[in-house]
Amino acid sequence: MTAALLASPLVRADNVILVYGDSLSAGFGIRVDQSWPALLGERLKTNSPVGAGSTPLKPAPLWTVSNASISGETTAGGRSRFAAALAQFKPKVVILELGANDGLRGLPVVQMQDNLTAMIKLAKASHAHVLLVGMRMPPNYGPVYTHDFEQAFVTLAKQQKIALLPFLLEPIAGQRDAFQADGLHPIAAMQSKLLDHIYPSLVPLLK
């Protein structure tokens, strides 16, 4: 996950979901409009009415998705530009999907935790809800590192009292044909599965 790719932000509205991640969210190796954040934006364009019986129906809040993900991004890099991203997009919800590149580079888990904690606190200070998206490392990184890496996301979510999706790639993990030739990045056809996996954890934050 080293090639740089910035997904162009969509037009900002009053209710913004900021996707802040790495190549898994930036659409690496596929068209940006095929990525799961773009598909999320399309799904949320539907303005479903709420209300029942004799209660007048009123429009549900409209949400727009701004994708500030960059391929190759580490938590340190994300932390360095996060305050500016919050100021630019003013999100009400942040989907924080960083850490995979820290793991692939074998960076200290405590360093990753510190960076993620700083970003979570900044988001909360700006009155944004946070969905933390976790990752897992392959077993060749050793049992201690892989365990500590996975548990870091769980611990952070509990400490900071935020929503957690433990493993982004869970629906397709182990399916070789679900990934591009590098074995790291999901193909376009799998992006909807990632969105379906993320969506139930996101919906409670949109109310």
> Which residue is catalytic, options 23, 25, 35, 71?
23
By C-alpha distance, which of 71, 96, 92 is closest to 82? 96
Q: Is 23 annotated in the active site?
A: yes
Which sign does the torsion angle of CA 164, 24, 26, 5 carry? positive
- Whether 141 contacts 132, CB under 8 Å: no
What is the DSSP-derived secondary structure letter of residue 6?
B
Active site residue 182: yes
Say which of 66, 129, 148, 185 is annotated catalytic: 185
Nearest to 116 by CA among 148, 85, 152: 152
**How far is C-alpha 156 from the chain's CA centre?**
15
Cβ contacts of 189-196, under 8 Å, gap ≥ 24: 191/30, 191/34, 191/35, 191/36, 191/39, 192/36, 192/39, 194/36, 194/168, 194/169, 195/36, 195/39, 195/40, 195/43, 196/171
**Residue 77: C-alpha distances to residues 71, 101, 136, 165, 204 (Å):** 11, 10, 20, 22, 29
Residue 62 structure tokens = 């409209």
Residue 179 has what DSSP assignment? Answer: B
Q: Of the listed 8, 14, 80, 182, which one is catalytic?
A: 182
User: What amino acid positions are annotated as catalytic residues?
Assistant: 23, 182, 185
